[in-house]
Structures are given as C-alpha cells and as structure tokens.
Structure 1
Amino acid sequence: MALQTAAAAARAILTSLHEIMASRSGAQAKLNQVVDVIGEKLDSEVCSIYLLREGMLELFATRGLNQQAVHVTRLAVGEGLVGTIASNNETLNLAEAAAHPDFAFRPETGEERFHSFAGVPIVRRERSVGVVAVQHVERRRYEEVEIEALQTVAMVLSELIANAGLIDEDDSLGSGMHMTGPERLQGMSLVKGIASGTAVFHQPRVTIEQIVAEDIEAERQRVYLAFDKMREQIDRMASQAEFGVGGEHEEVLLTYKMFAYDEGWGRRINEAIDSGLTAEAAIERVQQHTRMRMRQIDDPLLADRMHDLEDLSNRLLRIVSGQLGTAASLGLKGDAILVARNLGPAELLEYDRRRLKGVILEEGSLTAHVVIVARAMGIPVVGRLRGLRGKVREGDLLLLDGTQGVLDVRPTPSMVETFETRFAKNRERQAHYATMRDTQPVSRDGKRVAVMINAGLRDDLPMLNLTGADGIGLFRTEFQFLVSATLPARERQTRLYRDVLDMAGDRPVVFRTVDIGGDKTLPYLRHDDDHLEENPAMGWRALRVALERDGLLKVQARALIEAAGGRTLNVMFPMVTEPWEFDAAKAVFESQVAFLKKQKKLLPEAIRYGAMVEVPAIAEWLDVLAPKLSFLSIGTNDLTQFLFAADRGHPKLAERYDWVSPAILRFLHRVVTAVAPFGTDITVCGEMGGRRLEALALLGLGITRLSITPASVGPIKELVSKVDLGEIRAAMDGWVKNPPPNMRAALTEWAAYHCIECD
C-alpha cells in the first residue's frame, strides 16, 4: 500500500468523501462515487457496500464486482462473510475468503476470482446497518493501516446513509432480534420478580452528530481537556473513603488509573483525529477497535480489563461531548429494564417507577444499597452478569426473571409468548392475593398471625392499605441517610417519621435506628482511621457506629420522640451483641425524653424498646436481656450469614446456605424457647419470612409475627389460612430434635400432603 499511515490513508479518503457528501448528487450516485474513492485510495480491486433493508443485507454499490448484482444480491444477517460481520458487529480480515466456514458463494457477483477479503461493519447507534468490504485477487491479509482506514470510512458512511434515508431506521433501532439472535444470560438473583422491557443504559452512549472535523487542532485540544477532567475524576474516586486501601476496589481503581494515563490510548485517539475525525468520532473509532479485540480475548481476567477500558472510553466520550446526564435525566419513554455496571440507591430513585420494570447489573450483591431499595420498590434485579454491555444493546427487548437470575436478550417470538403466558399467570396470582387485603391471617385452628411489611421510604406507605398488612414491623431509617448527600437534619427526620406514623394510623410501626457503616458507607460519615474493613458486614456499623457517634443517635432519638408525641413509639436497635449496648442505646433515648420533658414538648404515651437478633452471641444473653425488652426481632439475612460464616454477597457462597437448615431452625427454636417465660413478642423481619416454605417452618417454631416485603403479604396470608399451627408445630418439634437427612424435602413433603402450595 502506497500510503504509509492509517491517518494519511483515512484523511485522503475523508477529504474526498466530504466533497461527495456535500454534492447535490442522489444517494445512489454518492455511494457509487464512494466505492470508487475507497478502491482507488486503498489500491483495492473490489470495494462493495451492503446496506440493511427489510432485515436483509443488500448490495447497494460496488467497484470490481458485476454491476448487474447491485440491488439483486441479498444476504440474511448471519449469512456469508458479509452477514457474519453484520451479525457479530466485528471485522473480518482473510487471506482466503473461501476457507472461512461462513463463506457463501454468490455466482451473480463474479467474485470467484478474488481470494483475499476484508470487511468492517457500518455501525449506527451501536447496531450494524451495513458492511463495507474490499477484495483482491492476491491471497493476503490486509494491513492494520488499511483496516483502520476502512473503519474510519465506515463511520462516515453511517452518517451518509442515515441522512440519505438509505436504511430503515427500525432496522438499526428496533428490537435487534435479527441482529445477533437471542441469548440467555445467567446471573445472580438479587430481587425476585419477572419483567419485560427495552434495554436502557443508566449511562447512555453518546450519539455522535458530527464525524468529519473542521479544525483538527481544536478537536485535539478538546480531547486533551477531556483527558485532564477524566483523570481528575479517577483520582478523586481513588481518594474517597469508601474505596479505602487494598482489596478489590483498589485493584479496579489502579487499572482505571493505568488506562486513564495510558499514552498509547491517547496516541491512538490523536491519530484518529489526524485522519480528519472529530474528537467524539475519534474516541468512538478507537473504542470500536477495542471491542473487536475484546471478542478475541479468551482470558477472562484480560477481558475484564478490556471492559474497564470500554467503561473509561464511555466516560471520556461523555465528558468531551458534554452529555453527562444519566438516562433518568432524559426520562424513560416506555417500559424499561435499566442496564448498569453498578448503581447507587439515590440514582435508582431518580427513575420513573411507572416505567422502570427491572434492573440488571454487571456487578451487584445481595447486600448492596441499591438492592435493598429496589426490593422495597418491588423492582426485580439480576446481578453478576459479566460482560453485560458487550451482549446487550440500547433498545434490545429483554425478558428478566429475577427469581431464577436469568436474562433473555432479543428473545424469539415463541420465548416472548411463553414469558407473557407466565406473566399473565403471575398477574392472576397477584390479583388473587390482592383480594385477601381485608382478610385476616387466621390459621385453620383459629390462631391469629400478624403479617406486617418492611419499609424504608415514604413511597412505601401506601402499601399498608393496599396489602391490608397489620403494620410496619421494620422501618429502615437508614434509607433516608443513604439517599442524602449530607446528614439529614433533625427536622427533616422528624417530618418523615411523623408522616409514617400518620399513614399507619392505629397500626404499629417499629423504627429501627440507623444501620449504616460497614458495607453501607456514607461519604459524609468517615472512619477515624484509614483501615479498610475486610469484613464490612461484621465491622463498624449499626449500633456500633451510633454509640460511638452518639450525636447521630441523639438527633435521631429526639426526632423519633417528637414525631411520636401522643402515640406509642416502637424503637429497635440493630446488631445488639451484648446487653450493655442495648442499655447504652436506651439511655440515649431516655436522656432525650428527659430533655424534651423539660422543654414541655408532647411526649409519646409509651416507648417500647426492642433489639434485633442478628449476631449469634446474643443468644447467650437472652435470659439477661429479655426482661428489659418489649419485643425481639430476628433479622434472618445477617443472622444466617453469621451462623454459616458465608458472605451473602459472595457469588460462590450466596447459595451455600439454606434457610431451613437444621442449624438455623435449631438456633431459632433456642431463641423462642429462651424468651418464652418473659412473654416477649418475637418477630421475624428478614427475607426468610416472605417465602412460603420458610414461613411454614417459622410457624412450626411458634413464631406468629412476620414482617416481610409488601409483595409477599398476600401469599403469606393465604399460606396461614391453610395451616393448622398445632400440626406443623408437632411436626417441627420432631424435626428439631431428630433432623431428617433433608429438611427442605421433609417440609415440602409435609406441605404437599396437607395440600399447601409452597415456593
């Protein structure tokens, strides 16, 4: 090839293409000129352009093949070399085209004498809308500079054919079912439920409006400034307390910094600008090259690093274009499934709940803040979908099964039909449960069971009336802290707590004091030291934080006491490990009562104090602690992972423990037995109580107070109505003493024998 650099080759072509695009010729005439220019500048014997029309790739213009084949030769997406390029959105560079397994000979083109072949996709808004290909008689692989020149040309062609209306916009922006075919991805179930919708990226890709640069030096300066800003952002992220030092977070940030300061990356973008591209187009050109390399990488660790570079490219592109907002700021246009690497709770709350149907995350864990909020919002979430952005495109139709942790991308019509049938049955089931709103959960032998809801947001409150729940058994006060940029003022806290009590009316509300710290780090609440917690769930969190930062607990105590003036206040302390912690926390509240009494403020009629059973050590103190308590709540989520020493957020351990394991049931039985002489109310307020089989086991242990997600209230009410508590308690007593080989199987068999449907 006479031209020595990709920049020189592409620049020569771009100059000619700019003139062609500016001419008054028709679209077909322009394409005919384009293939001639490319063929001449690249010294290529054949240059052809295929465009996607009505789902088929049609030969629109060629230099070197038979002209009679134009608008006659058509290939399905995935058919032949051209169809493979469009389907996989990747480049092919072959010394012998016929040797490729996807080669499809078309005699009308007269291409039998040509051996070498190279083709690149023409991409518009992340989808292949065509292919530009070159061929030679000589058997040879094309040089890198030629491929890069073709890729640059393809970007300009994308703009030309879109402006000329040569492609059906639906082909590039529709469901994409014919673009890459259906794909099923398996992840981790984070929030249960099923949903369908189109893929919307939380950080939407930037739409590049101008490709050809008018002032190359000006474009170069824009990229330099964007690089400086991006590096500042990465450095700032690295210095934030929540990332700390050491561990996986630091490794990720070090990789980010390595790419952010990589001179080779910047040099490649500069070379693309030299070829005549705008800053945005140059970044996208280099990014396309990165994506192709990613598809060829088998090493998962190296592939992850390439995904990091893809992520940084998106960040750089947003900075240089000034398009910094998330999809929430743009507004959702229809039913949507949100796609993100990770997400914060405040970011999730920015979205329109009427249209946001589900969330899929490349990362995510069961204890992530966003998962807690999503569960409260009733939005299904699937996480741990590695390489998600490389497999899902904006606008793809998605079927999300949050129960199984499965995502179907670009489903076939039959898959959609099956899903809709299942969705309809699910709606029927929910409608049936909704009819139980005014039904009291009374067992077959006439025992009343209390079924309450967990909440944490003001928007959760209408669910009290919609479900007919007996009250709020757990109000997570930390949600207000998690979604705030600064520590919520006392007045703001008081307003929220008063609103909650007003909405609940005569029904009880149990306020859990703030459970932050550890894995729920707040940027405005820092550690006194720089130590990174290796086990944050068992670290500086919950009551431990509140007692050390007693100003935080004092403000919350005063807010709760003032909000409950003239009513009963139920307050619960999380992660109590020893009696002195409960005593210290209660003393903070009592001191605020004394202060407000002097101020002649309206005080609560009564304050009922409770503690959460999460740390197993508390079981050794129940004879001492129970007499001091009005109630006890068992948080099965944390309790279970502490009992099993199994981090719920770890992908290899998340499914290792079973809520109906004899170890857990025996522990709970021990707690129930220990507090029975004191008449202390016991509630299970973890996820365990919202699952029918697990709830059956809890009823068998003598636990008749459950606080669960609003969506679980109907199913649990129905379960209660079908159970004879005496019978299940007799069975459970036997199993606790002499556990069967498989407790879950034994419970399931018992339920089936008594015609009780479980999960």
Structure 2
Amino acid sequence: MTSGAVAAARNILTRLHEVMASRSHAQAKLNTVAEVIGECLDSEVCSIYLLREGMLELFATRGLAQEAVHVTRMAVGEGLVGMIAEQIETLNLAEAATHPDFSYRPETGEEKFHSFAGVPIVRRERAVGVLSVQHVDPRRYEEVEIEALQTVAMVLSELIVNADLIDEEGASALDMAQTGPEQLRGLTLVKGLAAGAAVFHQPRVTIEHIVAEDTEAERQRVFLAFDKMREQIDRMASQAEFGLGGEQEEVLETYRMFAYDEGWTRRINEAIDSGLTAEAAIERVQQRTRMRMRQIDDPLLADRMHDLEDLANRLLRIVSGQIGTAATLGLRSDAILIARNLGPAELLEYDRRRLKGVILEEGSLTSHVVIVARAMGIPVLGRVRGLRGVVREGDQLLLDADQATAMVRPSPGVMEAFEARFAKSRERQAAYAALRDVKPVSRDGQRIQVKINAGLRDDLANLSLTGADGIGLFRTEFQFLVSATLPQRERQTRLYRDVMEAAGDKPVVFRTVDIGGDKTLPYLRHDDGEGEENPAMGWRALRVALERDGLLKAQARALLEAGAGRTLHVMFPMVAEPWEFDAAKAVFDGQLAYLKQQKKLLPEAIRYGVMLEVPALAEQLDLLAPKISFLSIGTNDLTQFLFAADRSNPKLAERYDWLSPAILRFIQRVMRSVEGFDIDVGVCGEMGGRQLEALALLGLGIRSLSITPAAVGPVKELVAKADLGEISAAMKGWLASPPPDLRAAMAEWAAARGIHTD
C-alpha cells in the first residue's frame, strides 16, 4: 500500500468512525458513508449495494438518481455489481459499457458515467454487498484509489453488520444465494462413503474487529507474531536429524524467504497505519495476494503464492491467539476434514470415531496421509481445486470417494438418495460383522486363512471385530512416517511387543521397513536417490535397509527383543535376488548372536519370508524356497511392475485389470514353481480383498489372503459359497484358452452359482 493509499484510507476510516458513532438511523448513516467515500476519493459517484432477500439492492448513492435507491436490484452474478459479488473480486474499468457483463439500468441515470470500479464487501468469507465508484471521464482508477476502496470495504462490512444494516431476512437470503448445492470433483485417493459437517484442518480466523484503537499496539502485535512465525519455520528446518534435501528443502527455503520478506512486512504495517487492526491488516494484504494469484498463469509461481497464503494464515492464527488445528480443538460431531494437504501424524491426531472422511485441495495416490488413511478406513478425495472458495465451515457434505465426487450442501432429495445408499452399505457391513466368529471354510470343506493388513497400534482392534486369523502384514514403516526423526530402537521394541501381546495367539507378520519410493522420509537423506524419475522401482524398501544397515540392525534387534518367548514372523519386502534375502537374514543372525551373548530371552522360533513383488524373483524361487518359511505375493507392486504402469499415475490406475490372464498366469506359474517345498504361499494386497479377484486367487490354489479389515466379511461370505474344486477346474480352462473378457466370464460363472461378487 502506497503512502497516498494509507493517507486516503486513514482519512476515510476516521470520518466513517464518526458517522457510525452518531445517533442517526441506519439509512442516514449509509447515505453519509457514500458521501464521505465519494468526496475523499474525489469520485462523482459512490454507491453501496447490500444483499437483501437474495438480491443486491442499491441502498445508498452519491451521484446516481436518488429515486433508484431501494428500487434498483440485481441478482448475484447479474451485471458488473452482481459479478463482483459472485466472484468476490475487484473490477476496475475505464469504459464500463464495453464489458460483456454490463447491465444498463435507466432508472439510475448512470449513462453519462464511463469509468467504473467496484469491490466486494465481504463478511465471514461471503460477499454481503458491493461498494462501487464511477466517473464521467473514461479512465481506470489509480492503484492508490483501489487500495483505499478495498480497505474501506473491509471496514464497511463490520460497520454494516454492527449497525444492523443487514437484517436476519437478508442474512438468510445471503445463505440461500451463496450457499446452494454444489458438486465437487476430484481424484479418488481412498474409496468409501461418508457424511458429515465440513471442518477445516486449520480453522479460518474470524476477524471481529477491523478498526484499530491503538496503531502502535497493533504494530507491536504484528512484530511479535512475525518473530514467533519465523522461529517456527526455523525450528521446522532444524528438526530433521539427517538433513533434508530435495523438495522438502526447497519448500522450507521458500517459506523462509517469504517469512523474512521485508516487502510483506512493510505492506502489513502500512495497512495498520491506515487504521486497521493487526488481523485486518494481514487479511487486507492477503486479499491483494489472492487477487494477484488469479491473474497468474505460471503454475510454479502460483504454487509459491500458495506458500505465501499458507504463511499468512499461520501469521493470522498466531496474532489472534488461535494457533491450534481442528484436532486440538476437538471434533464435536461426524466430520469431513478439509485441508490443502495433510501429514500422516496430523491425521492420526483426530478422533477416529468422528472423523468420517477427508477432502484435500492437493494430495496424491502415494502421499503419506493416503497410506495412513487407507489403513484407518477413512475415504479420501484429493485434487479438488478451489475447495475453500466453495466449502464453508459447518457445511453439510456427502463424500462419495468411490465416484470421486462430493456434494456440498445437498438438497433433501440428494441427501435422501445418499442415505438410502449408505443404509444399504451399512446393512451389508452388519451382515459381514455377523460372520466374525464364522471360520472361512469352502463348500467342499477347505479352510482358508483370512488375515488383515495393519500398521497402527489401533488396528489391532480389527482382529477381534472381524474374526481374522491374524495379521498377514504389519507395515512397520508407519511408525517411521509419523515421526519427525528416526524412531529409537526402544520405541520400536515397545510397539512390536504391544502388537504381539494384543494379537495373543494369532500370528503377526512384521514386514521390515518399506521406505523410499512413495514413502520418502525427510530425515533420511540419500543423494543418489533424490529426484528419481520412477521412485517405485528405485532406492526403496530392502535396498534402503541393506545400504543403511544401521537402520535394519536397530529394527532387527527391536523385533527379536519384542518377540522373546514367542514365534516371530519376519518378512522382507522388494526382494529381487536370493542374495538380498541372505544379506537381510544375516543382519538378523548377527543381532540374534549378540542377544544370545547378552543372555537375553529370545524368540521360541523365527519364521522368515519374503514378499514377491519383483517379477525377477519368480525366476529364482527354486533357489530361495528352501531358505524361507512363507512367501507373500504383493499384488499392488507386482501389478505395476508386470504392466510397466505406475499406479500413482491417475491415467493408469484403472487401465490394467487384476483379472488379466497376464497376472493370473504369472501367479499360476509361481504356485507351480513352489510345489514340493514346505512353505506357505499367500497373497497380500487389494486384489485379495475384492470378491471376484479373491475367487480367481482361490481357483489358482491360494489358501491364505491378507487384506484390509473391511474386506474380511465379504471374503468370508465368498469362501462359504465357493466350491474350490469347481473354481480351480474352471480357472484352469480359462487360463489355457482365455475368453475375450475374463472378468465378464467369471462374473457370469459366479452369478449362475449364486455367488455374490462386487
């Protein structure tokens, strides 16, 4: 804000304060306000429109025909004034009549005026009116004038509400006009249905007081807030134990640059000098930033402006004393969380009983929060642009992550249809829950092992809720993902011991840490692995653990100590060559020897296994099989490697079918290659949790599935209806001579036998 704008705004604010403090009635005050603004900005016309009964009504004017007051009305989105209210942005035109949205109103007598500028009067993120100025000469208003006008509009919003210039009827009409039903579209990150009230992860600060009483006091508040914010950013940068590098370092450097930017500080202080409170000054500068963001085409620069927006929100929360997230404030009812992005640790802070879903402006299929949300059974919709501009705190939301949509403020009809669908889903879930104590035995008497995947301490409750046979995959990396630094060995030991104790006599298969690829850790730096073009096939999982043997040694010792007196199940991920298994087991053998020497209590038995995710391992199973106790086929990674299709790419996520003969023949070949060896073979991954796909796996001879807890009931139901001898014979025929559409053929076969499949 220039010194001219500061002076103009201060002059207007001082005079407005006097007007609103007078004992005149509301209409007289508004008339005087229009005169004051027009005079101070040397503008021939100044008009104030307020939203009333869903329409923008001319409430006061200087320069237009007085007979038009309370007569001229236009809908939100209609004409220049309506467009400003709808889009909540400023308009500055040298020749108003040439604009495509110009709407001529003869009763106002505005035909002789050419220039036009208007700004929205915003209250709680909603346009409650429009403040406009006009001039006979065709000219664009100077930046100093626009800035003064925007500052005045901020103050007007508070003064209008405090003076009861918007009645309850008008306020409810505002809600009707600007909060109708809207559908959001995004990218499905975690499937599922959910309903609840919108809750912002970082609640927006409501600015109650706009005009400052003591300018120096406000400047001091901002100074202290900047100090605290910079301290936070510096602390974030120093928290990493092994340095940052890569994108994380770039992001923090950008944050630092903005946090210490003197221009940003100066603009906020100038806004305070004009008469605004610290909060209003930050918001005023933020509004200007948002206006500029809309005009930026460069996506990289737009991202940097988003960073500044994030910092401004942080500064606003600090200066107002509202520092906590929605998690610290607590959820009061069923909620759908709204955020630009979210970390896994932040998600875990929320009450899982009330958090029903998450909608992100950003997010990707492989982001950490998605990995954790999937384990928690919370549906997530990502890549929803302009989310904050559509959704408001407390809005009712219906999240359909299956269809990649969310309905904001749904109509009664839509709500009813969704509830019916939701109720049907709940009925099915209740039916599945009734199968908790039912053992999964096929019609021809074959017992199938149905286990769950887990990664959080809270997941253990699902063992008893589902009646699962154990945990076929415990993802130990979750503890690493939600930590700011590398978890100490003692912390790892406590977690693993707690998990085994909670599981009782049911087996728990611990997969050694699978980090790297889509699960990068800011505190674990590796120069050669940064910026990988295809991280899924790069420096990850066992490759990381073998290179950073200190990491694997600590985990090995933690697992061995936690498994004392029990049978310990250890699985190595991403094994491509038998020597990698040998090297990993050697680390465990070394730690086992050390613990024996220390006379420590040891596990009664240790069963070692591998995840078959890399196709190359399938060609060497005859060499590996004698050394292992079990083999788990990891269908998620295996599929992307077989098809050379990155599963984090939305365009490829649904392109290749799990019921492709290529995958099924591959698994069939794996089963044949381990015949005669005393090892258990199972499938771990989403493929085993889908009924039709599970049926195919049973037909291939798979007798152990490790799946999400939600899939246990449907798979148990499927097993009970299937004759495994019959499906095995059918599968043999299909793979020998595949039909054009194997999925359709299998679905028809199952339906003919009364087997329900999703």
Counterpart of 2:738, as a letter, is P
Aligned to 1:150: 149
Residue 435 of structure 2 corresponds to residue 454 of structure 1: no
Aligned to 1:83: 82
Q: How much has 1:115 moved relative to structure 2?
A: 5.4
Query: Are the equivalent residues in 2 in contact too, given 1:244–1:532 (CA < 8 A)?
Result: no
Out of 737-746 and 184-193, give the one that drifted further: 737-746
Aligned to 1:311: 310
Q: Distance in 1 between matches of 2:324 and 2:173?
A: 24
Q: Distance in 2 between matches of 1:92 and 1:463?
A: 56
Q: Distance in 2 between matches of 1:154 and 1:242?
A: 49
Aligned to 1:521: 520
Counterpart of 1:567, as a letter, is R
Query: Are the equivalent residues in 2 in contact too, given 1:566–1:602 (CA < 8 A)?
Result: yes
Q: How much has 1:501 moved relative to structure 2?
A: 2.3
Q: Distance in 1 between matches of 2:174 and 2:451?
A: 41
Counterpart of 1:562, as a letter, is E
Q: How much has 1:265 moved relative to structure 2?
A: 5.1
Alignment of 1:547-696 (within 5 A): 547-597=546-596, 599-696=598-695
Q: How much has 1:168 moved relative to structure 2?
A: 6.3
Q: How much has 1:622 moved relative to structure 2?
A: 0.7
Distance 1:175 1:523, change over 3 A: farther
Query: Are the equivalent residues in 1 in contact too, given 2:450–2:705 (CA < 8 A)?
Result: yes
Aligned to 1:402: 401
Q: Note the alpha carbon deviations across 1:601-653, whole angstroms, 9 max, x for none.
A: 44333222111112222112211111221111122222222223332223443
Q: How much has 1:156 moved relative to structure 2?
A: 0.6
Q: Distance in 2 between matches of 1:68 and 1:253?
A: 57
Q: How much has 1:27 moved relative to structure 2?
A: 4.5
Q: Note the alpha carbon deviations across 1:246-267, whole angstroms, 9 max, x for none.
A: 6x66776676677667666555
Aligned to 2:333: 334
Counterpart of 2:352, as a letter, is R
Q: How much has 1:338 moved relative to structure 2?
A: 1.7
Out of 90-99 and 205-214, give the one that drifted further: 90-99
SS of match in other structure, 1:357 = strand
Q: Percent identity?
A: 79
Query: Are the equivalent residues in 2 in contact too, given 1:124–1:172 (CA < 8 A)?
Result: no
Q: Note the alpha carbon deviations across 1:414-449, whole angstroms, 9 max, x for none.
A: 333332222222222222222222222223333222
Aligned length: 756
Distance 1:530 1:623, change over 3 A: closer
Counterpart of 1:51, as a letter, is L
SS of match in other structure, 2:620 = helix
Aligned to 1:431: 430
Counterpart of 1:208, as a letter, is I
Counterpart of 1:587, as a letter, is A
Q: Distance in 2 between matches of 1:550 and 1:197?
A: 46
Aligned to 2:4: 5
Q: Distance in 1 between matches of 2:474 and 2:166?
A: 54
Aligned to 2:743: 744
Distance 1:679 1:404, change over 3 A: farther
Q: Distance in 1 between matches of 2:173 and 2:598?
A: 65
Counterpart of 1:698, as a letter, is L
Q: Note the alpha carbon deviations across 1:659-697, whole angstroms, 9 max, x for none.
A: 223322222222222112214212211122112232222
Residue 43 of structure 2 corresponds to residue 44 of structure 1: yes
Q: Note the alpha carbon deviations across 1:125-152, whole angstroms, 9 max, x for none.
A: 2222222233445555444333222211
Q: How much has 1:57 moved relative to structure 2?
A: 3.8
Distance 1:627 1:721, change over 3 A: same
Distance 1:651 1:7, change over 3 A: farther
Aligned to 2:704: 705
Q: Distance in 2 between matches of 1:170 and 1:729?
A: 69
SS of match in other structure, 1:443 = coil
Counterpart of 1:586, as a letter, is K
Q: Distance in 2 between matches of 1:168 and 1:673?
A: 77
Out of 212-221 and 650-659, give the one that drifted further: 212-221
Alignment of 1:15-30 (within 5 A): 15-23=14-22, 25=24, 27-30=26-29
Alignment of 1:40-119 (within 5 A): 40-53=39-52, 55-65=54-64, 75-94=74-93, 102=101, 116-119=115-118
Residue 341 of structure 2 corresponds to residue 346 of structure 1: no
Out of 50-59 and 328-337, give the one that drifted further: 50-59
Q: Distance in 2 between matches of 1:494 and 1:172?
A: 58
Q: Distance in 1 between matches of 2:65 and 2:446?
A: 85
Counterpart of 1:443, as a letter, is S
Q: Note the alpha carbon deviations across 1:440-476, whole angstroms, 9 max, x for none.
A: 2223333222211111111111111111212111111
Counterpart of 1:8, as a letter, is A
Query: Are the equivalent residues in 2 in contact too, given 1:630–1:681 (CA < 8 A)?
Result: yes
Aligned to 1:121: 120
Residue 160 of structure 2 corresponds to residue 161 of structure 1: yes
Q: How much has 1:719 moved relative to structure 2?
A: 2.3
Q: Distance in 1 between matches of 2:114 and 2:682?
A: 75
Distance 1:563 1:4, change over 3 A: closer
Aligned to 2:283: 284
Aligned to 1:474: 473
Q: How much has 1:284 moved relative to structure 2?
A: 1.7
Query: Are the equivalent residues in 1 in contact too, given 2:241–2:486 (CA < 8 A)?
Result: no
Distance 1:243 1:83, change over 3 A: farther
Q: How much has 1:317 moved relative to structure 2?
A: 3.5
Counterpart of 1:334, as a letter, is S
Out of 433-442 and 62-71, give the one that drifted further: 62-71
SS of match in other structure, 1:474 = strand
SS of match in other structure, 1:32 = helix
Query: Are the equivalent residues in 2 in contact too, given 1:377–1:460 (CA < 8 A)?
Result: yes
SS of match in other structure, 2:203 = coil
Query: Are the equivalent residues in 1 in contact too, given 2:244–2:525 (CA < 8 A)?
Result: no
Counterpart of 1:337, as a letter, is I
Q: Distance in 2 between matches of 1:405 and 1:171?
A: 35
Q: How much has 1:345 moved relative to structure 2?
A: 0.9
Query: Are the equivalent residues in 1 in contact too, given 2:571–2:609 (CA < 8 A)?
Result: yes
Q: Distance in 1 between matches of 2:95 and 2:322?
A: 44
Query: Are the equivalent residues in 2 in contact too, given 1:244–1:531 (CA < 8 A)?
Result: no
Distance 1:336 1:101, change over 3 A: farther
Counterpart of 1:366, as a letter, is L
Counterpart of 2:19, as a letter, is I
Q: Distance in 2 between matches of 1:177 and 1:331?
A: 29
Flag structure 2 segments of 5+ consecutive residues without an equivalent. Answer: none
Q: Distance in 2 between matches of 1:59 and 1:133?
A: 11
Residue 370 of structure 2 corresponds to residue 371 of structure 1: yes
Counterpart of 2:494, as a letter, is R
Distance 1:576 1:236, change over 3 A: same
Flag structure 1 segments of 5+ consecutive residues without an equivalent. Answer: none
**C-alpha RMSD of matched pairs (Å):** 3.5
Out of 186-195 and 602-611, give the one that drifted further: 602-611
Alignment of 1:202-217 (within 5 A): 202-214=201-213, 216=215
Q: What is the TM-score when the length of structure 1 is the normalising length?
A: 0.89
Q: Note the alpha carbon deviations across 1:244-292, whole angstroms, 9 max, x for none.
A: 656x667766766776676665555454344333343233223223333
SS of match in other structure, 1:576 = coil
Query: Are the equivalent residues in 1 in contact too, given 2:198–2:397 (CA < 8 A)?
Result: yes
Distance 1:488 1:251, change over 3 A: closer
Aligned to 1:545: 544
Distance 1:226 1:174, change over 3 A: farther
Out of 704-713 and 484-493, give the one that drifted further: 484-493
Aligned to 2:482: 483
Aligned to 1:718: 717
Q: Distance in 2 between matches of 1:638 and 1:48?
A: 63
Counterpart of 2:664, as a letter, is L
Query: Are the equivalent residues in 1 in contact too, given 2:13–2:152 (CA < 8 A)?
Result: yes
Q: What is the TM-score when the length of structure 2 is the normalising length?
A: 0.89
Query: Are the equivalent residues in 1 in contact too, given 2:54–2:173 (CA < 8 A)?
Result: no
Q: How much has 1:352 moved relative to structure 2?
A: 1.7
